[in-house]
Each structure stands twice: as structure tokens, then as C-alpha cells.
């Protein structure tokens, strides 16, 4: 049996449906529920990335990686409560103000998948705990920067508008979109490679 195709563009095609789903979570008009839904979608992405890698890992690994990722990026409860309440009020007044956040989450989901794939290639999930790998992914994607995340998002949005015009996300359509954003994905993957290797090395030293 041939080894799985580990190209970044192929990976994006595999997780594109979940990335699209993640982009709508900030619109859920209930405080904290959007975070819960995003975590569920990231777990689906993690399971797909792990399955694609061919690694025979327990199903709980995906959940633990996402738990570490979310925990490392979660501000104190007081800040979360304030932000959630503010978002709730804003949605009541004008939900359109949250459009950019929704777009950002699409890019975040793609970056998460790329970073996890790098960790699997490095066999880091075997060397350190899945919780620590999740935290390393959070730090690496934060270091990647919001500008790069937004570039991924904008490219994906433009690609879907150009190729599909609101049509159902069929396999051929996903393949076209993955190819259309390939340059941005390849660049993000290259940058994440350096960041993840550094974070994983530091994690093993702790």
C-alpha cells in the first residue's frame, strides 16, 4: 500500500468541510456555546488528520490534542465572561459586525490542521503528551500571526465565491478550492514547520 499523500494541499482538501463549518461558529448567539462548537469541529479535523497520517493512535488522542490547544488559548474566566457578554450584545444589535471573526476562524482551522500534521510527521504525539502537543500548536499558530491566518481565510473565501457561487461543497469543488488556495497554504505550512519544530523541541525540554 502506498504511503499517504502528506502534501499541504491534499491535507486542506481533507479538512475543508470542517474548516467551513468552523467559520460559522462565532455567529452562535449564546455565550460560550460557540467555543464548544469550535472545539467539536477541531476534534473532527484532528481525527481526519490523524487518520490520514496512517498513525495507529487511540481515538482519545484527537480530543486531548484539541483540549490542550483550547486550554492554551483560553483567557481567564473573567475575561471570557466579559467578551462573551459583549459579543452577545453586539449580535443583538448587528450580527454583521462579527463577519471578520467568522472568517478568521476558517484560517485558524486550516492552520490547526497543518500544525497537527507537522507534529505527527515529527512523531511528537508519541514522544510527548497529546495535551502538550495541543498547547504547542496553539503557540505556533499564534506566532504565525493573524495576518497569515487572514490571508488563508481571504483566499478560501475568494476561491469558493469564484468556483462555486454558493453551490454544494462536492468533492470536485473542494479539490478546486484546495488547489486555488494552494500557494497560501504552502507558505503557511512552511512557516508553521519552523514554529512547530521549535515549540516541540521546547516542549520535550520541559
The ranges of the chain with pLDDT < 70 are 1-6, 21-34, 75-104, 127, 163-171
- Cα-based angle 123, 124, 125 (whole degrees, multiple of 5): 95
Residue 76 grid coordinates: 481567564
The domain ranges of the chain are 8-205
What is the C-alpha separation between 197 and 203, in angstroms, rounded? Answer: 10
Say what the pLDDT of residue 197 is: 94
Say what the pLDDT of residue 87 is: 46
Other Cβ atoms less than 10 A from the Cβ of 143: the count is 15
Say what the pLDDT of residue 204 is: 86
Please report how the helices 171-180 and 182-205 are oriented relative to each other, as an axis angle in degrees rounded to 10: 80
Distance from chain centroid for Cα 166: 22
Say what the pLDDT of residue 164 is: 55
Verdict on whether the full-model pTM lies above 0.75 = yes
Amino acid at each position: 500500500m502506498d504511503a499517504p499523500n502528506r502534501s499541504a494541499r491534499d491535507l486542506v482538501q481533507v479538512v475543508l468541510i470542517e474548516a467551513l463549518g468552523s467559520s460559522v461558529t462565532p455567529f452562535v448567539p449564546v455565550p460560550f456555546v460557540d467555543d464548544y462548537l469550535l472545539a467539536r469541529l477541531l476534534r473532527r479535523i484532528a481525527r481526519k488528520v490523524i487518520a490520514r497520517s496512517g498513525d495507529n493512535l487511540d481515538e482519545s488522542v484527537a480530543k486531548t490534542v484539541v483540549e490542550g490547544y483550547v486550554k492554551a488559548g483560553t483567557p481567564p474566566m473573567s475575561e471570557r465572561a466579559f467578551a462573551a457578554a459583549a459579543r452577545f450584545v453586539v449580535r443583538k444589535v448587528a450580527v454583521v459586525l462579527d463577519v471578520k471573526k467568522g472568517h478568521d476562524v476558517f484560517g485558524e482551522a486550516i492552520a490547526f490542521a497543518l500544525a497537527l500534521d507537522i507534529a505527527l510527521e515529527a512523531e511528537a504525539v508519541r514522544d510527548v503528551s497529546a495535551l502538550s502537543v495541543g498547547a504547542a500548536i496553539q503557540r505556533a499558530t499564534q506566532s504565525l500571526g493573524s495576518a497569515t491566518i487572514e490571508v488563508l481565510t481571504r483566499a478560501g473565501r475568494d476561491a469558493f465565491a469564484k468556483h462555486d457561487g454558493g453551490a454544494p461543497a462536492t468533492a470536485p469543488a473542494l479539490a478546486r478550492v484546495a488547489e486555488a488556495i494552494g500557494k497560501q497554504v504552502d507558505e503557511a505550512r512552511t512557516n508553521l514547520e519552523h514554529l512547530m519544530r521549535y515549540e516541540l523541541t521546547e516542549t520535550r525540554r520541559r
